[in-house]
Amino acid sequence: MTKLMHESAPIHDALIQYRNTRIVSFDVPGHKQGKGNTMLRDFLGDKCLSVDVNSMKPLDNLNHPTSVIKEAEELAADAFNCDRAFFMVGGTSSSVQGMIMSVCKEGDKIIMPRNVHRSAISAIILSGSIPVYVSPGISKNLGIPLGMSLKDVEKAINENPDAKAVFVNNPTYYGICSDLKSIIDLAHKNNMLVLVDEAHGTHFYFGENLPPAAMHLGADMSAVSVHKTGGSLTQSSLLLANTERVNPDYVRTIINLTQTTSGSYLLLSSLDIARKNLALNGREIFSRILELSEYARNEINSIGGYYAFSREIINGDSIYDFDRTKLSVHTLDIGLAGIEVYDMLRDDYSIQLEFGDLANFLAIISVGDTYFAIERLVSALAEIKRTHAKNKANMIDHEYISPVVKVSPKTAFYSKKKKVELKNSIGQISGESIMCYPPGIPILAPGEMITKESIDYILYSKEKGCLLTGVEDMNIEHINILDA
């Protein structure tokens, strides 16, 4: 498609036309363009609520698009340079689940790193597929999980030639990229599909001097969080597909098993507008983001004690490339966990980061940031170091625990369970997940043996102030185990 065609935004244009017709509404939603809920209208505004509408012929239908949504998806596929694009309104969690469930059925194997997002574990439970975990390895210096080593993927493929697909996180939350092209070539050679969780990689499709995008390398499907780095509303996402090995009509059928029949036109139009902006201005947008990120990285490193890492950590394998827009900062050398710095910045300086873990924090830099905002962050970090730095002895220095898988996640999730105290659960099989959120990577997943290391890690995370989720017990004092 030509650049001129990307000037259009079919869903946005149809909504404007709908608003201008001043239709009298006897359908849902019940607030009727805000007239029925003045508090909501005062909060969100007339313009927003006037286009919070239901599916109808002029506005198409997300579950069976034939007009403006279909046109918008075609424009998105062209902008991202792939064969098909599906608009998703359940976040990239739904995109990940759609990918896995369209490829794997009950008992099918899928090769994946264990440091996957909780949505991938959920898809495993829903589909009944069997994960073949590839350990991502750990950077001892940074305390973060790395990418997938090609030799580890090859070993998993050789030992599981009947696996249906290889699933890759690229980039990771921290900006680590695997040798995706070699993994794709290896998987295809062995008749396996490649599914990529590219939640943090929207910018790869439009920026320069960044790691290559999954669809451009020949991956079969990719889940992209346009809302994270592409400018759409929270919860809007794309599922991208190349169709040489994938039936897109079947993929949509699978998507419709779980996707709402009341797709939000606020989310859909935001995807449409974000695509237009990225197609027309993406190169300039991400060039500026790179400049801001590099400036922030250099300023933080000049403080001393903090380490904002970049391409110097590349090793050609498990760290094959690095996303320089990610401002990932290691904090242990000032004696503070990343989550502690995260909390101080929010509570004492009104600065909100993306997340903090036990050794690092992540700041998302976007086109909406300024040099002034970066300087405010740097100044706050310098003051935190000056007033709160301490000895780093006895601090946990890694972010990933190798699992001991005993039964499949689905079997464990639906098995008879009993609740026990965390401290008394060592040696048992977990019946639920537990994770710090964000980033939402399970410390334990259903079907895995509970070890002393995992319990120590959970208790330490709780002590440092991480938000632990996944278990039924909201106080994180008990865990459900399989009742043999």
For residues 66 and 58, the answer to whether their CB atoms sit within 8 Å is no
d(C-alpha 191, C-alpha 163), whole Å: 9
**Of 66-80, 112-126, 425-439, 452-466, highest mean pLDDT:** 66-80
Residue 237's DSSP bridge partners are 88
- The closest of 199, 183, 296, 193 to 242, measured between CA atoms, is 193
pLDDT at 137: 84
d(C-alpha 47, C-alpha 392), whole Å: 52
Q: Which single residue is written with the structure tokens 């909780």?
A: 118
pLDDT at 123: 95
d(C-alpha 323, C-alpha 443), whole Å: 25
User: How buried is 160 (Cβ within 10 angstroms: 0-12 exposed, 13-18 middle, 19+ buried)?
Assistant: middle
Residue 222's DSSP bridge partners are 196, 240
Q: Which single residue is written with the structure tokens 């589909």?
A: 127
Q: Tell me the pLDDT tens digit for each residue of 202-261.
A: 999 999 999 999 999 999 999 999 999 999 999 999 999 999 999 999 999 999 999 999
pLDDT band at 304 (very low <50, low <70, confident <90, very high): very high
Share above pLDDT 70 across residues of the chain, in percent, rounded to a whole number = 98
State mean pLDDT over 74-94. 97
DSSP letters, 283-298, are HHHHHHHHHHHHHHHH
Would the pLDDT of 397 be above 70?
Answer: no
Look up residue 392 and give its two tokens: 């780093």
d(C-alpha 96, C-alpha 110), whole Å: 13
What radius of gyration do the chain's Cα atoms show? 23
In our burial notation (b when 16+ CB lie closer than 10 A, e otherwise), range 444-475 reads bbbbbbbbeebbebbeebbebebebbbbeeee
Residue 87's DSSP bridge partners are 238
Q: Which single residue is written with the structure tokens 């110097």?
A: 312
State mean pLDDT over 480-484. 89
For residues 358 and 142, the answer to whether their CB atoms sit within 8 Å is no
**CA 399, 111, 472, 407 torsion-angle sign:** negative
Does an H or E element contain 472, and which?
none
State mean pLDDT over 423-435. 93
pLDDT at 2: 60
Would the pLDDT of 322 be above 70?
Answer: yes
pLDDT at 439: 79
State mean pLDDT over 73-81. 97
Across all residues in the chain, what is the average pLDDT?
A: 93
pLDDT at 3: 61
pLDDT at 441: 83
pLDDT at 4: 60
**Of 342-351, 359-368, 444-453, highest mean pLDDT:** 342-351
- In the chain, the N- to C-terminal Cα span, in Å, equals 59
pLDDT band at 194 (very low <50, low <70, confident <90, very high): very high
* Cα-based torsion angle of the residue sequence 176, 180, 182, 186 in order, rounded to the nearest 10 degrees: 120
State mean pLDDT over 45-73. 94
Which has the higher per-residue pLDDT, 309 or 140?
309
Would the pLDDT of 309 be above 70?
Answer: yes
Look up residue 320 and give its two tokens: 């094959």
Q: Tell me the pLDDT tens digit for each residue of 139-157.
A: 888 988 899 999 999 999 9
State mean pLDDT over 307-315. 97
d(C-alpha 275, C-alpha 327), whole Å: 24
User: How buried is 328 (Cβ within 10 angstroms: 0-12 exposed, 13-18 middle, 19+ buried)?
Assistant: buried
State mean pLDDT over 57-72. 96
Residue 241's DSSP bridge partners are 84, 221
Q: Which amino acid is at 38?
A: T
pLDDT band at 328 (very low <50, low <70, confident <90, very high): very high
For residues 394 and 337, the answer to whether their CB atoms sit within 8 Å is no
For residues 46 and 34, the answer to whether their CB atoms sit within 8 Å is yes
pLDDT at 399: 63
pLDDT at 437: 79
pLDDT at 392: 83
Q: Tell me the pLDDT tens digit for each residue of 437-461.
A: 777 788 899 999 999 999 988 888 8
pLDDT band at 462 (very low <50, low <70, confident <90, very high): confident
Look up residue 34 and give its two tokens: 């805000």
For residues 429 and 406, the answer to whether their CB atoms sit within 8 Å is yes
Domains of the chain with bracketed CATH:
5-9+61-279 (3.40.640.10), 282-388 (3.90.1150.10), 409-482 (3.90.105.10)
Q: Lowest-confidence range among 52-61, 397-406, 439-448?
A: 397-406
Q: Tell me the pLDDT tens digit for each residue of 9-51.
A: 999 999 999 999 888 888 889 898 888 899 999 999 999 999 9
Share above pLDDT 90 across residues of the chain, in percent, rounded to a whole number = 81
SS3 of residue 179 by DSSP? coil
Q: Lowest-confidence range among 270-284, 356-370, 387-401?
A: 387-401
Which has the higher per-residue pLDDT, 304 or 33?
304
For residues 209 and 290, the answer to whether their CB atoms sit within 8 Å is yes
DSSP letters, 195-221, are EEE-TT-GGGGT-SSSPPPHHHHT-SE
Would the pLDDT of 403 be above 80?
Answer: yes
Would the pLDDT of 267 be above 70?
Answer: yes
Would the pLDDT of 398 be above 70?
Answer: no
